[in-house]
Structure 1
Amino acid sequence: MQDKFLNTGLTEQQASERLREYGYNQIKGRKQKRPLFLFLNQFADFMTLILLAAAVVSIFLGEEIEAFVIIAIVIFNGILGFIQEFKTEKTMDSLKAMAAPMSKVMRDGIVKTVETKVLVPGDLLVVESGDRIGADAKLVECTNFKVDESLLTGESVPVFKTSSSKEENYIYMGTVAVSGHCLASITGTGAMTQMGKIAGMISDADDEKTPLQLRLAKLGKWLVIGCLGICAVVALIGTLHGGDVFDMLLAGISLAVAAIPEGLPVVVTVALAIGVNRMVKVNALARKLSAVETLGNIRVICSDKTGTITENKMTVKFTVPELVKMKTDKIVQGVKTEYAQEDIMFLTFALCHNVHINPSDPESRYNGDPTEVALLEYIEKFYFDLSRLMKTYKRVGEISFDSDRKCMSVIVETKDHHKLMLTKGNPEVIMAMSDQIMEGKTAKPITQNDKNRIHRQNKDFSYQGLRVLGICWKPVTKMSDATESHMIFAGLEAMEDLPRAGVEESVSLCKRAGITPVMITGDQPGTAAAVARKVGILSGDEKVVTGSQLRNATQKQMDYITQTTHVYASVSPSDKLEIVKAYKRKGYITAMTGDGVNDAPALKEADIGVAMGINGTDVTREAADLVLLDDNFNTIVVAVREGRIIYQNIRRFIRYLLSCNIGEVLTMFVAAIAGLPMPLIP
């Protein structure tokens, strides 16, 4: 029965029944805001309600023109805010539409391409290199299968998957297959996936008020108290001076209405709308007007590493020996009979991989494991036509990578039928299988001194946060000799996930502006520390704190850690959430940037969440207040500068407006106390 299921999958009828039972395979997001709700929400703040109350009082006093002006201002303010937020919602919809929500499944014994939203538990998911996985599933069978889980975990290195492992036999919605292929049985869809569970942590959370909203609400309350006090004092003093009680009461009410700055809400809205439009021009999309001024108050920026500070693209940094001076004219023709270290390194980079090469597509020339893609991009400096090279050295055998052996080998054959076995993998594993080492074009027995030297070099690279691979090889006369033993050690290569251009300058600018940049990543401490030092987040003897240390800390210890730590490594989504909460407990206005699903809860908790518009997930963008349309960390620094300018302009205008209104009120108040006729009355 199981074998039949693997051959046919579900039937269309079974899939339809399960779709009715489990619902669509969609992540629960924020409820779609209707245009009417967006419009009415513009009138919900305290200052607007005060203005509406003032308009009602003005009508009661017979001041219809003043009432009309106040109402017109309020409506204009509402329309302006509505237009801006409605445009933002439409932009968010277009970002969602950029994704291609299609998946391949086996139904009725046929592989079909269907909408990802109609996947159901029990479906057989067919995944190939380059596919985005549409649901959580358990591997049934797979070949050389690696998955990029950085959007879910923050780890930049692809994870090797195998159906025989109890730990690595599951794949998850939203992650991307980078090499190999698999057949997997879907175990969870929609809210029951790992991504869905994280989305559930943020979807029902309430939005917090921004610093400006809190200050304006406080100002509004003081204005109400002050106006009521002035009204009572003016009416009382006027009555004591022999004035008519009703007339004095009307005069006090008129004075109270005059004290309210009618232009304040519309000026704030206009200033924020201008800020939103200016930010869009620098690729920062503010989902709400209030996000602009929050940016101007930021004290801490917590940033994910992979894809935010770095490019999420591996690049070869060093090779030992160096390949810069090698000549490829003979090696690419397949006519060499003796090989130097550089030749073996070159051939291993070019041939020991499972990358799909698309010569006709310059935008997506390579599709596969980022590590292997980085090696191919590196040797393009020496020889560009890799497809031709792979025909010259025909692959006749392969021992695929697995997590136990930690290496991969291929056997290639030249035109004159010489066979070579080329192996790359963990340096310690490569050393263990090698009993010889190359020096130039000759091989000699490997000594303990050689191993110590290689070990020191490997450790030095690792301390710099580089990912290191060892290379070895041997000639093969018959296929039975193609075993991973008695190899010849050839060299090392080290690669890194480069920081984005300009990030170091942005970090420096943040520090000069009084903003503390903090890196929070799921990567290993050594990698995190190396990247943080390169961009200037980590300096001196500062230490990296790991997720396990955070989980064992009390709240008091947590507050101390956040006061002295700028880099956190090996953290989980819940750890990120606790870090942001700790900064907020200290009263710091905190921003959290990120692109992965693992960042979404922390983005939602932060005073302002900043998501990536291109590589960010829908869940992350839904949780964010600001979306970076170019996925560039530097853009947030520009956005903060714009936010500070707008915030300062708003504060200056509030001071100006209040000084004018207070001047009018004091003039009338003093006149009332002195028993003089009411001034400023036509």
Structure 2
Amino acid sequence: MVDHSNDQSTVDKGIAAQQALLADADPSLTDVADVAKALNVDPNVGLSEAEAKRRREKFGPNELAQAPPVPKWKKFLQQFQDPLVYLLLAATVISVIAWFIERANTAPGAEGGEALPFDALVIVLILVVNAVLGYIQEAKAEAAVEALAQMTAPQTSVLRDGKVVRINTADVVPGDIIVLAEGDSVSADGRLVTAASLRIAEASLTGESVPVGKKPETLAQAKALGDRANMIFNGTSVTQGTGRAIVTGTGMNTQVGKIADMLSATEDEKTPLQKEMDYVSKILGIAVCIIAVVVLAALAIMEGFHDIHDVIDSLLLAVSLAVAAVPEGLAAILTVVLALGVQRMAAHNAIVKKLHSVETLGSASVICSDKTGTLTRNEMTVERVVTPSGEVQITGTGYAPEGRMVLPAGVDGESERGMAIRDEVTATLIAGTLANDGELREGDKPGAWDIVGDPTEVSLVVAARKVKADRKAKHYVRVAEIPFTSERKRMAIVAKDDADSGKLTVFAKGAPDVLLSYCSRIQVGGHVRPLTDGDRQDILATVERLSSEAYRTLGQAYRPLETSSLAEVPGIAVNAAGQISDIAEQSGAIETDLIWNGMVGIIDPPRTEVRDSVAEAHRAGIRAVMITGDHPLTAARIASDLGIIESGGKALTGDQLDALASKGDAAFDKATSEVSVYARVAPEHKLKIVESLQRQGNIVAMTGDGVNDAPAVKSADIGVAMGITGTEVTKQSAKMILADDNFSTIVAAVREGRVIFDNIRKFLRYLLSSNVGEVFTVFFGVVLAGFLGISQPDSVGVTVPLLATQLLWINLLTDAAPALAMGVDPQTEDVMNRRPRKLTDRVIDASMWGDIIYIGVIMAAVTLIGMDMHLSGGLFTDRSVDALGHEAQMVEARTMGFTILVFAQLFNALASRSHAQSAFVGLFSNKWLWGAIGISVVLQLVVIYVPFLNSAFGTTPLSAMAWLECIGLAAFVLVASELRKLVLRMMAKK
């Protein structure tokens, strides 16, 4: 064993040796022992945690170099890189010029003019505040995305302190012993130590489309990357077999790192939602520019430009009109709402890797799910063991090795038959335990047990411990392996019996019908005899019976090789040097003439919460589909228990799918539109099912865990990987990862996706209707200025209904906080009682545009009415001009209009929470919205009652009666919205 002490000189020598090896030597031409010595590691023990930590500090994280982070000051300045901000800056320049001209034309000592350019100062202040808010929102979104990245960080199995552990790939260091299995992503460059049927897909690095077979033998001469059979490379993936390798290169010292410039990050493509928001902003911008031109023309025709001040005021009005129309913070708010929603999903075990996947989640119409672990508990338990002499029950559930063997009724354990059954059960479980890659470990807490590997395999280990068969299995040491694959449906190992002169024995397990075809003998009562056709029929009948009772069956067999050397086994190929070729490629010589031991019946009980989730999915118009490799009867029984199909429903098998596929897409599509349970399917069938459902216009979610599931998971609209049992390749292909491997989590994520999308529509309805209200207020205020009393017959120059600073303040006050609060609005009762939306449906549809225009008109009307009530010569009042004159009246009227518009938008925030449901349903359910409204009210009071802000914003304190008018008129927005919703609900009932 290598000494991993804290002796610094040893550490320094080790690091120096590593650097020399990484810089000069070619590990493919170096013997494994020499590579291990150079990297100061024992391949059987691995590095210690302390040594691994030192090496990580020395070599850095196992990551490709990334672009340096953008400095905070640059991120802040980026908030100003927006065409709308450029318009505001132009308005600032115009305002300052106007102030200078006004000051220049004011005689010294004379009254008039402002001491400071308040308009310009307020615009700059609002720009800075907007930038700060945008910066904070983006920082929150980045933090949320970073947190998700940490949750979905790829992991690697390594050998540390003699134990196989899972660590973040970034923590892999030179000298680590990587443990490879089917479905793993290779996280670093390394030199193979052992390999069993190991094949690795290296297309991403070499372009070779066929997976490459790997062997640990040292190469005689240097070869191209694609021919280095004893090396593994970062970025590739294991498609078959197992192996171990010493890490020789990490991060930028890998082959991928050398071509990292080819892997530079590209700019993220905008999501459909973002594209629609860009489209909406563009349309609004064009519309407002047209309105601005019309307003300027109306001002010029109706009032005329008498001096430079009129021109400047009109330009300021046009710019503020454009700013009022488009919500500046929309993109940032959208990102934050999505990020917060995804964080909520992550807290409930659904880790969504990309924010835009939320859009797709809310539209799911079919969820295709594996059975084991997703619909069931994945606490596989061996309950039955059937041998030629009888059938026993194994008590106990879960992974705790606590239970016993219960013999058939009427059989005495001390009788000849009882003893025969016991021996046969023990032999069956020994075979199942040895032909096994699972591991059972005692957890940190008393009575807790942790599993490593496939739960089905671990269930055999647990059963063996219950009946003490594991004690006899300890005599055997594995010397060769033929791994399980989904195509082979079986696994075999060759083990040496240390208690019997090192004699070799083959142990195998697999699907009973498959394994039975490789058996020619059967062991009954301690004697081996030929396997008859009657035996085969009895065994297959038992498989059918157990499957109908929802048991998964696995057969076990063995074969003594009567030799202590694999080279002496008939049919084994040996080269000139006496070395055996890859044993996994010689299965024909090993998996033959096997002796049937018996079979086990494994139960995986359905998750109790899944039945409710399936029912909820059906209510939401979402079809649940089970796809499994299990027996059709087992699949149908579980699906029926969960409510996926009616009792007595049938499952479609892989063979039947192949027959349908041969008849063309129409026949296949008809079957998939009607059948919801598929059994005995291969991975390629999953892909065909997904494609068929998509051809029918469905938005498909597909779960997967194995490497062969990756194509179907990637092709699905929502690929879902298992976080516990899923392979790294599948996780990388998926858009969502289930941290608990639970079907209910998928349904919960769909529900959350719908809630998020609903909330996005809520704040879009709110923002756009409020901004349209501002535009209509200015437009009609200018066009109807004479009728409303805004301009007087004897007045000279341009008089606008609201100042540019007031419009900017309204946007600042009412856009950000209420919109963000609406983005976290609680779900409505009907969120899972309606059909899925189609991805082709517009986010802002005709109905929402109707809401937006309707509320915008009402908002403009009450604002202008409120102003008219405080002006002389208006439509609703004919108030006489007081002693202060029309200018003082105009300030009061603007303050009224300014305040009414703010409160109207706050009432609109309550009204916009639903298209048809009353705002009074769940009125106080969103505390964040009420907090945002409260803050907005306080800030508006500050602008009206703080003297120096009166000058900056052109406001004046209001009387109590004026406040009653303001609130009453503003509340009419909510009243009008409620009347419209009432009509909509009545029409819906009819």
* TM-score w.r.t. length of structure 1: 0.64
Alpha-carbon distance in structure 1 between the residues aligned to 2:695 and 2:356: 21
Q: Does 1:75 align with 2:144?
A: no
Alpha-carbon distance in structure 1 between the residues aligned to 2:636 and 2:231: 30
Q: Does 1:316 align with 2:382?
A: yes
Conservation of the 8 A alpha-carbon contact between 1:510 and 1:517: yes
Mapping 1:497-536, distance limit 5 Å: 502-517=609-624, 533=639
**Cα offset, 1:103, TM superposition:** 8.5
Mapping 1:232-381, distance limit 5 Å: 232-244=293-305, 246=311, 248-262=314-328, 264-265=330-331, 267-287=333-353, 290-292=356-358, 295-301=361-367, 314-316=380-382, 318-320=384-386, 321-324=390-393, 339-340=418-419, 342-352=421-431, 353-354=433-434, 371-378=456-463
Amino acid aligned to 2:302: H
Amino acid aligned to 1:296: G
Structure 1 residue matching 2:772: 3-state secondary structure: helix
Alpha-carbon distance in structure 1 between the residues aligned to 2:730 and 2:738: 12
**Cα offset, 1:224, TM superposition:** 0.6
After TM superposition, the structure 1 stretch with the greater mean CA deviation from structure 2, 133-142 or 274-283, is 133-142
Amino acid aligned to 1:210: T
Structure 1 residue matching 2:600: 3-state secondary structure: strand
**Cα offset, 1:637, TM superposition:** 2.5
Against the structure 1 CA distance between its residues 613 and 235, is the aligned structure 2 distance closer, same or farther, given a 3 Å change threshold? same
Alpha-carbon distance in structure 2 between the residues aligned to 1:32 and 1:453: 66
Alpha-carbon distance in structure 1 between the residues aligned to 2:709 and 2:378: 15
User: Which of 663, 675, 679 is the aligned partner of 2:801?
Assistant: 679
Alpha-carbon distance in structure 2 between the residues aligned to 1:652 and 1:372: 50
Aligned to 2:538: 453
Q: How many residues are paired up?
A: 616
Aligned to 1:226: 287
Alpha-carbon distance in structure 2 between the residues aligned to 1:7 and 1:274: 49
Against the structure 1 CA distance between its residues 128 and 262, is the aligned structure 2 distance closer, same or farther, given a 3 Å change threshold? closer
Structure 2 unaligned runs (5+)?
1-28, 41-58, 96-118, 163-170, 204-213, 218-228, 396-403, 408-412, 500-504, 563-589, 792-799, 804-893, 895-990
Structure 1 residue matching 2:393: 3-state secondary structure: coil
Amino acid aligned to 2:460: L
Conservation of the 8 A alpha-carbon contact between 1:133 and 1:177: no
Alpha-carbon distance in structure 1 between the residues aligned to 2:60 and 2:633: 36
**Cα offset, 1:285, TM superposition:** 4.1
Alpha-carbon distance in structure 1 between the residues aligned to 2:232 and 2:376: 23
Q: Deviations over 1:294-352 (max 9, x none)?
A: 5434445565677656667754364434423898699xxx9886645641343124433
Alpha-carbon distance in structure 2 between the residues aligned to 1:30 and 1:508: 48
Amino acid aligned to 1:571: P
Amino acid aligned to 1:232: V
Alpha-carbon distance in structure 2 between the residues aligned to 1:529 and 1:235: 72
Structure 2 residue matching 1:324: 3-state secondary structure: strand
Against the structure 1 CA distance between its residues 579 and 11, is the aligned structure 2 distance closer, same or farther, given a 3 Å change threshold? same
Amino acid aligned to 1:55: L
Conservation of the 8 A alpha-carbon contact between 2:606 and 2:638: no
Amino acid aligned to 1:664: E
Alpha-carbon distance in structure 1 between the residues aligned to 2:373 and 2:30: 39
Against the structure 1 CA distance between its residues 216 and 516, is the aligned structure 2 distance closer, same or farther, given a 3 Å change threshold? farther
Alpha-carbon distance in structure 2 between the residues aligned to 1:452 and 1:5: 55
Alpha-carbon distance in structure 2 between the residues aligned to 1:537 and 1:446: 40
**Cα offset, 1:218, TM superposition:** 2.0
Aligned to 1:59: 92
**Cα offset, 1:570, TM superposition:** 2.8
Q: Does 1:495 align with 2:495?
A: no
Structure 1 residue matching 2:599: 3-state secondary structure: strand
**Cα offset, 1:227, TM superposition:** 0.8
Structure 2 residue matching 1:679: 3-state secondary structure: coil
Conservation of the 8 A alpha-carbon contact between 1:283 and 1:635: yes
Mapping 1:29-68, distance limit 5 Å: 34=69, 36=71, 40=75, 49=82, 51-62=84-95, 63-64=119-120, 65-68=122-125
Which of the two has higher C-alpha Rg? 2
Aligned to 1:85: 142
**Cα offset, 1:646, TM superposition:** 2.8
Against the structure 1 CA distance between its residues 39 and 283, is the aligned structure 2 distance closer, same or farther, given a 3 Å change threshold? farther
Alpha-carbon distance in structure 2 between the residues aligned to 1:133 and 1:610: 21
Amino acid aligned to 1:226: A
Against the structure 1 CA distance between its residues 103 and 669, is the aligned structure 2 distance closer, same or farther, given a 3 Å change threshold? same
Identity of aligned residues (%): 31
Structure 2 residue matching 1:323: 3-state secondary structure: strand
Alpha-carbon distance in structure 1 between the residues aligned to 2:728 and 2:749: 22
Amino acid aligned to 2:683: V
**Cα offset, 1:235, TM superposition:** 1.7
Structure 1 unaligned runs (5+)?
16-23, 106-114, 153-160, 415-420, 477-482
User: Which of 746, 763, 769 is the aligned partner of 1:659?
Assistant: 769
User: Which of 570, 574, 580 is the aligned partner of 2:682?
Assistant: 570
Conservation of the 8 A alpha-carbon contact between 2:185 and 2:728: no
Structure 2 residue matching 1:344: 3-state secondary structure: helix
Structure 2 residue matching 1:468: 3-state secondary structure: strand
Q: Does 1:466 align with 2:466?
A: no
**Cα offset, 1:679, TM superposition:** 3.0
Q: Deviations over 1:381-426 (max 9, x none)?
A: x54x555x53xx9858999886899777999999xxxxxx997656
Mapping 1:382-393, distance limit 5 Å: 383=467, 389-390=471-472
Conservation of the 8 A alpha-carbon contact between 2:393 and 2:406: no
Aligned to 1:18: none
Alpha-carbon distance in structure 1 between the residues aligned to 2:604 and 2:199: 14
**Cα offset, 1:228, TM superposition:** 0.9
Alpha-carbon distance in structure 2 between the residues aligned to 1:597 and 1:325: 33
| Structure with the higher strand share, 1 or 2 | 1
**Cα offset, 1:276, TM superposition:** 3.9
Conservation of the 8 A alpha-carbon contact between 1:425 and 1:471: yes
Q: Does 1:216 align with 2:277?
A: yes
Structure 1 residue matching 2:82: 3-state secondary structure: helix
Alpha-carbon distance in structure 2 between the residues aligned to 1:471 and 1:216: 63
Alpha-carbon distance in structure 2 between the residues aligned to 1:269 and 1:397: 56
User: Which of 753, 765, 787 is the aligned partner of 1:643?
Assistant: 753
Mapping 1:175-190, distance limit 5 Å: none
**Cα offset, 1:220, TM superposition:** 0.7
Structure 1 residue matching 2:801: 3-state secondary structure: coil
Conservation of the 8 A alpha-carbon contact between 2:546 and 2:553: yes
**Cα offset, 1:661, TM superposition:** 2.6
Against the structure 1 CA distance between its residues 205 and 162, is the aligned structure 2 distance closer, same or farther, given a 3 Å change threshold? same
* TM-score w.r.t. length of structure 2: 0.47
**Cα offset, 1:648, TM superposition:** 1.6
